[in-house]
Structure 1
């Protein structure tokens, strides 16, 4: 059995669904079910005996200790995190609590559990920490992409807390010998993404006839990684990644935010055309986010060289799959768009007009 934290969130749930389809091994799915955690995503595995769900907070050491003792996982995959930059600007305390204190608590529990394992099981155990490229800061137009040796320079409360968690994971490997591995990924997109993020926000607003808000001049660049490719990379790192190493996971798809919005609009024009005009007509430029990083780019050659992984999707194939999924699953979107979410979106974007 493996233990997955944050397995009802976007990337975690995709990983759980992917794992249960591809592997015979059970998953203990631990999630606090905050606003971004949605059990509806996991309906298809609700009756699968290989999927065991436990509602618990990673900051609750006693609860984590009990789960580890009862289920004895061979690995912990740590997805759980507060992950939205704008939310971290408005309320950084929750990010410090979940991303820093939560990771520390989980590491303490994992270390205590790992020490109880027999020698061979200790050698095979892994603590795989899923992190972000945002810990490296911002690139200029001509800078080389982030590598695993790029110095950390986080610029938002979110990325600072993820950087802190990365350092804690590394320290527990170096000081205590806990077999840790870290992945730093670029911007994920795909099915089941919470609708505060750019692509699902644009899809939802476009279909509702609302403005499509684009920060600043829309020229901020991100490397876009299809979530299914990310899940495949994590499986490879879990299976063959070397303890103590970090691996960058990227899609080799640098796009400006405006390019991404245009691509979504053009697909919607083709797949669900408006009565008149284009969805591009709804694009509205709004005040930029404070300290908005200009460019991220990932050099994922180490992962390809050492473990043979490279993304299967181009941006064009991945965004086509994504838009089609949202069009085909309006019930999921309606269910996840709670009153709390709608109030937050209204407050965040109203002040940028």
Structure 2
């Protein structure tokens, strides 16, 4: 099963008490499943990200949350968008995502990236290293993890990791999908061409044609048919039946982060909203179609950062966007 329409939960700041937090997460995952989303994602972070909230905002450990969602859902795929490679030993990560696959009866996806949030690394004691080192680690990790997901027992000694006859049992299948996430045209796209079933492209919409050209080049370099690598785009969607209400949500969201889009210069507003799609269902559908899908992206992963926990909003987004991607 592919990921043509994904739903990412980017925050857990729902108000109320902590005991109400996970029921709200479950409700969103179930609503996404019923609305035709094929994959539910959580972020793999320990602190909330800049631009979404403060570091001390609520944040759940990804694979604990996903395993709990596996027992609360039936058909929707489950993944991190994306796992920070530096946070786990590679064979342990292979075991973790395979266990999620067993728990969910074959619904796990390994979403993975190199890691980038330096504050988390420093606070939790993970070595951050250089950009080059993080991608060396990711390449070595995939060299270990990919065969472990396929039932092989790799032995590998690299600069960063070592495994010896690494066993990964039980498994429910040998084709657990690997999804890479990022926007790096050389390193990320090169690893996607070698290892991934799916690439979630993190970029501004204006960059999509350039990104797809770069991805085609990376596939050519390793002799891969570009059409065998599915793509998606991560979109911040702010939707409501009342388009004015949705746009008010957008203004408030940006104002809380220091930008008044009613007075800011046009180029500043354009940059701040380059990955946002706001309005009523017709507005959002038209924006997603023309700004993303018409460029050749296969699917869309959305978050509903301002109002996804409102009952009915995930359903509205699914009904709006599903027809655009054949869901």
TM-score by length of 2: 0.37
TM-score by length of 1: 0.35
